[in-house]
Chains A and B, each alone.
Chain A
């Protein structure tokens, strides 16, 4: 094909074509940029909203945790005070000895020839003092009998709760031809 147009006209046509191409490119970019902007706007919006939501939630969690932390501190204090009170109440209400049991056991531990004249217990001294007597009814050696009794006493249920037994003030006397031995026993609480 032979172009019969003059050079001037040809240049004009080429210029117009270039201008049209440029317009097309610019319009395309504008449209592309419009689409890109819209997409990025929605994506960024979504991303921001998501992060805001997470932030709101964890701020709430932090407030809850702070409140819980204060509550934990106060509960720890309360628990400590309750445990101390309970410990004190337990100390106050602890009984090392149940006296009805102890006296029953004492009665069971005493041989027939023995009787208690005086019994004294003071919790502040932590000591049970007994003044007792022993009568010789069957012609036995009272000293060894008493020694055996004191020794055996340590293995009876009566002795539970006591640490040691001390024998003192042993006196021998006679009454209506019967040999009697008076003695004192001190039982020290554990």
Chain B
């Protein structure tokens, strides 16, 4: 091969090499720039989320604390739906204090509140008790009821003194307990 032909060939190869390198490098730089733009865009989006890990942890801690508090409160205020359980407890208290009831009457159940999203409703079961006792036993009875490990609400208290026996009063107490029912 002649020298001038070789030079021409080398020139052609060099030109092709420069063009090819330019083309591939340019497209690659374009790809990298696109990647960098995407990164920038996502970083901006992430900035909008703020410190989500900390927020999430904080919320998880808070909600577990409130769940615990609510569960404890529920355990305190809600009785079994079967009223006989409550009557048994109240009769035990009376037995312990040697109190005899004249009557225990249950009344229609009333709806207090409902949570359709949680599929539960809160009902109130009213109950009235009548007895004839002295003032101190009444106080003891009320003390036992009000300090019970479950919530009992005293709605009405009526104490009437009898003409013939001023130490034994006619006592009517209306109380209510709360139950949770699934809808």
Contacts and interface: CB of A to CB of B under 8 A. Distances in A.
Interface of A: 16, 19-20, 22-23, 26-27, 29-30, 33-34, 36-37, 40-41, 44, 47-48, 51-52, 54-55, 58-59, 61-62, 65, 68-69, 71-72, 75-76, 78-79, 81-83, 85-86, 88-90, 92-93, 95, 98-100, 103-104, 107, 115-124
B73 A86 contact: yes
22 contacts: A19-B4, A26-B7, A34-B17, A44-B25, A47-B32, A48-B28, A52-B35, A55-B38, A59-B42, A61-B42, A62-B42, A68-B49, A72-B59, A79-B62, A81-B117, A82-B67, A86-B70, A89-B70, A89-B77, A93-B178, A95-B154, A99-B157
B77 to A, nearest CB: 5
B63 A79 contact: yes
Interface of B: 3-4, 6-7, 10-11, 13-14, 17-18, 21, 24-25, 28-29, 31-32, 35-36, 38-39, 42-43, 45-46, 49, 52-53, 55-56, 59-60, 62-63, 66-67, 69-70, 73-74, 76-77, 112-113, 115, 117-118, 122, 135, 138-140, 142-143, 146, 151, 153-161, 166, 178
B142 A55 contact: no
Contacts of B21: 33, 36-37, 40
Contacts of A52: 35
B43 A58 contact: yes
A7 to B, nearest CB: 21
Contact of B6 (A23, A55, A119): A23
A35 B135 CA distance: 108
Contacts of A29: 14
A90 to B, nearest CB: 7
A5 B28 CA distance: 56
A51 B135 contact: no
Contact of A61 (B32, B46, B160): B46
Of listed B10, B17, B63, B118, residue having the most chain A CB within 10 A: B63
A133 to B, nearest CB: 9
A119 B157 contact: yes
